[in-house]
Structure 1
């Protein structure tokens, strides 16, 4: 099979297209014929740092395709099943930038007929991260479904990003009033297309006042991509018992918080990362994302707020570079 591999840390030039033997699934695993591979910031960061656990690694966590082999003990999947894949390359040399990948059966979820492989490959890290951010508040909910966030106001920082896009869609599907911040008119249009009720350009005017105008009691959940930069804004708009769910360090590795104002509001600051969140949380997210998918709540494409950028497998390095440069939208590799 054709596959992209790297053996050591470095920029995208360490990625090579090679031929390798077709891998066979082991106990509890399935093999997926990959149609689309999704590229996330975590993929180029992992490549930059290298992966000392394996002599050779295929990158990319997310993807979508068709099951073409099942390992011993797998009863949940059959050859021919359409699936979307999450965390394929976590603890494994088999990422999705290849014609085939091997994944635990529990990390390959049903992709409904009529749902594109593009949509399936755009889920994974962004949607599961968004789900986790929306379900860590002190008063819940711990699961998402229509009505689960009724009466809550959610602030999504960076609503034009992939996680921001998924957070807007999932929060709206669950019944929240959704506010998002963006840095341009173009990104504002994307956030509205994703379903945000209110969009605020944080580069001008008075963002806190604009958010308070639509959420006078404050926001209940903040889905935060840039805690260092946004700490003052979050403090200004937090409701009593607000949760600030931090999933990335864009804008700086160190954030400063004023203790007493947050203390008076009983604010919860919750960090999250999928690699150590635990299988129970991953499966809960996958089930809820699957329900939203079946409800048609997670469309992709520019008309839905997430432009798609396709690259062929042999240009995987260009795909990684595009994500590292911060391209707006979702980068997909067509396999």
Structure 2
């Protein structure tokens, strides 16, 4: 089978197209024929030797994907050959289990049913982006631990960077769960994408009165902030929250150090929750898998330009170019076509 591999860290030139033998799944594993592989920032960061993983042996890039179960290992229940699945963090601590290959062997706990009405393209976007967004929306002290229609009814969510893949999913999931959704973006093009994703209100974070604009919408303050740039947006986040609000941060774009104004934060009982899905517990993963699948089945996690997340497609042999596109900050979702759909 064809696979993209690398055995040393570095820029995208370390990625090579190779032939690998198809192995049998072991206990607790599934063999999946990958149809579409999704590329996320964590993938190029791992390839460079930072972030969630570093390479000491042959590695296959990309954590997320969607495909069809090809074989079932001993002890695995709930899956059968021919089942459509979406994969999340398939290569976490398993460097040869990435999705940039025609067949991958993954842990069954990292695979989830892909409803017939959900495309493989959308399935390849349900891993890191959607699960990260889900986690951010379910860690509030006073908020729901699970998402479903109405779960966030009466609440206001601020999504920072609504044109990014995680921000896009956060808008969609919060809207599906009944929240009023505000998002911050840098300009008009991204504002249009965030609106297409379902945001009720869009604010340009570069505006001097951004906090006042948000407060005019959420007069009592925002309940949950889904944050992509914890340091750069710290002052804004602390200004637009209320008592017992949660700022759930999954990134620190811009690498600005995070500074918390302790006095106002403690009087608000403000909660900062840092979100990294690679190390969240099994119970949280099970809940995320079920609820993200339900949202996708309901049509809430659509992708494509019309849904606010333009697609950029590459062939398997163009994986290096796909990584370069994500590393370069392309707006939208980068997908790799591994097999015909």
Cα deviation, residue 74, structure 1: 1.6
In structure 1, the residue matched to 2:273 is: 270
TM-score norm. by structure 2 comes to: 0.96
1:215 matched to 2:218: yes
- Alignment gaps of 5+ in structure 1: none
In structure 2, the residue matched to 1:29 is: 29
1:56 matched to 2:58: yes
In structure 1, the residue matched to 2:198 is: 195
Cα deviation, residue 278, structure 1: 1.6
Q: Is the CA contact (8 Å cut-off) linking 2:8 and 2:56 kept in structure 1?
A: no
Mapping of 1:307-326 within 5 angstroms? 307-326=310-329
In 1, Cα distance between equivalents of 2:241 and 2:259: 16
In 2, Cα distance between equivalents of 1:121 and 1:304: 16
Q: Determine helix, strand or coil for the equivalent of 2:86.
A: strand
Q: Which of 61, 79, 82 pairs up with 1:80?
A: 82
In 2, Cα distance between equivalents of 1:256 and 1:313: 42
Structure 1 residues 26 and 54: alpha-carbon distance in aligned structure 2, compared to 1, 3 A threshold:
farther
Mapping of 1:80-119 within 5 angstroms? 80-92=82-94, 93-119=96-122
In 2, Cα distance between equivalents of 1:55 and 1:251: 31
Cα deviation, residue 75, structure 1: 2.2
Q: Which of 146, 150, 157 pairs up with 1:147?
A: 150
In structure 1, the residue matched to 2:14 is: 14
In structure 2, the residue matched to 1:300 is: 303
The count of corresponding residues between Structure 1 and Structure 2 is 335
Moved more, 119-128 or 271-280: 271-280
- Alignment gaps of 5+ in structure 2: none
Cα deviation, residue 89, structure 1: 0.4
Cα deviation, residue 243, structure 1: 0.3
Cα deviation, residue 23, structure 1: 2.0
Cα deviation, residue 53, structure 1: 6.1
Structure 1 residues 243 and 52: alpha-carbon distance in aligned structure 2, compared to 1, 3 A threshold:
closer
In structure 2, the residue matched to 1:290 is: 293
Structure 1 residues 286 and 251: alpha-carbon distance in aligned structure 2, compared to 1, 3 A threshold:
same
In 2, Cα distance between equivalents of 1:142 and 1:52: 32
Q: Is the CA contact (8 Å cut-off) linking 2:134 and 2:173 kept in structure 1?
A: yes
Cα deviation, residue 169, structure 1: 0.4
In structure 1, the residue matched to 2:163 is: 160
In structure 1, the residue matched to 2:72 is: 70
Q: Which of 259, 275, 286 pairs up with 1:256?
A: 259
Q: Where does structure 1 differ by over 4 angstroms across 4 or more consecutive aligned residues?
A: 50-54
1:243 matched to 2:275: no
In 2, Cα distance between equivalents of 1:75 and 1:230: 44
Cα deviation, residue 205, structure 1: 4.3
In 2, Cα distance between equivalents of 1:177 and 1:328: 24
Q: Determine helix, strand or coil for the equivalent of 1:78.
A: coil
Q: Is the CA contact (8 Å cut-off) linking 2:227 and 2:247 kept in structure 1?
A: yes
Q: Which of 169, 173, 176 pairs up with 2:176?
A: 173
1:123 matched to 2:126: yes
Cα deviation, residue 316, structure 1: 0.3
- CA offsets 1:21-50 (integer angstroms, 9 cap, x no match): 012111011111001000000000011017
Cα deviation, residue 253, structure 1: 5.2
Cα deviation, residue 107, structure 1: 1.4
